[in-house]
Amino acid sequence: MFKIGVDLGGTKIESVLLDDDLGVLKRKRVPTPYNDYSQILNSISSLVLEMSENIPNFSLGICTPGSISKQTGLIKNSNTQCLIGKPLKDDLETQIGKKISMENDANCFAMAEATLGVARDYSVVLGIILGTGIGGGIVIDKKLHSGRTNIAGEWGHHTLHRDGNLCYCGKTGCVETYISGPSLENQWKKLTGRSQCLTEILSDNDIGKRWKDDFLENFGFGLANVIDILDPDVIVLGGGLSNIDFLYVEGRKSVYDKVFSDLVDTPILKNSLGDSAGVFGACML
């Protein structure tokens, strides 16, 4: 069956049409209407209409920037503010006149890499996003494991330091408040007094030892905790921070040192689909 995927991002909406062999037939992106819910619905609907021209039968998946409450069906935790509290899935199904599958960007990322990307030959896949926020998704034998209440894989809000940094989620010490891009920049500022973006910090030949050591320790504990519970066959990194090479060498060692096992060889790999993971993951839902 043909598959249509839509990736609703903060700045762009991208859509793709795949054939039976998962080949790309059509692809298009448009800017996301700024904070206007009904215009966002219209943009998605017209993209789907354009993709499905002369295609009688297709599946439709949508990747959203927030998660969908299993209890209410409403969008929560989205950085596209106008979506929060909206029944996006219901409204789109009504407007398009078709059943759709909808998942957050971390779950779509994991699906994409587990089916079409670097983790396609592995059974239990943990896909994690390291960027402005920290997310994660679990795919088992090409099927998304979203969990009883839709929060499986959300390791970004595991508590790393009980009395640590305050998180927007209301807790303190979440992984996200230590190893997301903005948190790492804050930490750098605290240590050096300098306001620099992550790219500048990393291109500094003399990256602060304390800053890097803390980063590696927090990355190590964060992922070791997940390995102890899930013991995945592979971990795939996505998001802006997945471009940091030392995470695959010193970062991996830091993780391995903290896992509760005498044998740890979990591959920690860089994604292979880049920014396209959302739209392909949406197709594979």
Residues near Zn ion (CB under 5 A): 157, 167, 169, 171, 174
Minimum distance of Zn ion from residue 133's CB (angstroms): 10
Q: Which is nearer to Zn ion, 5 or 181 (CB)?
A: 181
**Strand partners of residue 135:** 129
Q: Which is nearer to Zn ion, 89 or 157 (CB)?
A: 157
Minimum distance of Zn ion from residue 171's CB (angstroms): 5
Minimum distance of Zn ion from residue 172's CB (angstroms): 8
Minimum distance of Zn ion from residue 5's CB (angstroms): 29
Minimum distance of Zn ion from residue 161's CB (angstroms): 12
Minimum distance of Zn ion from residue 134's CB (angstroms): 9
- Per the CB < 8 A criterion, the answer to whether 83 and 64 are in contact is yes
Q: Which is nearer to Zn ion, 146 or 177 (CB)?
A: 177
Give the amino acid at 272.
S
Instruction: Return the ∠ at Cα 129 (arms to 109 and 202), rounded to 5°.
Output: 135
- Per the CB < 8 A criterion, the answer to whether 273 and 112 are in contact is yes
Pairing of strands 143-144, 134-140: antiparallel
H helical segments located in the chain = 37-51, 88-96, 105-115, 176-179, 181-192, 198-203, 209-230, 250-258, 277-283
**Strand partners of residue 199:** none
- The DSSP letter of residue 268 is E
Q: Which two tokens stand for residue 156?
A: 């970004």
Minimum distance of Zn ion from residue 124's CB (angstroms): 25
Residue whose C-alpha is closest to residue 245's, from 212, 209, 222: 212
Order of strands, sheet of 12-18, starting from the edge strand that comes earlier in the sequence: 24-31, 12-18, 2-8, 58-64, 101-104
Q: Which is nearer to Zn ion, 165 or 243 (CB)?
A: 165
Minimum distance of Zn ion from residue 219's CB (angstroms): 16
Q: Which is nearer to Zn ion, 175 or 259 (CB)?
A: 175
98 vs 1: CA distance, rounded Å:
15
Rounded to 5 degrees, what are φ and ψ at 95? -65, -40
Q: Which two tokens stand for residue 166?
A: 């305050």
Q: Which is nearer to Zn ion, 43 or 183 (CB)?
A: 183
Q: Which is nearer to Zn ion, 135 or 281 (CB)?
A: 135
CA 231 from centroid of its chain's CA atoms: 19
Q: Which is nearer to Zn ion, 145 or 171 (CB)?
A: 171
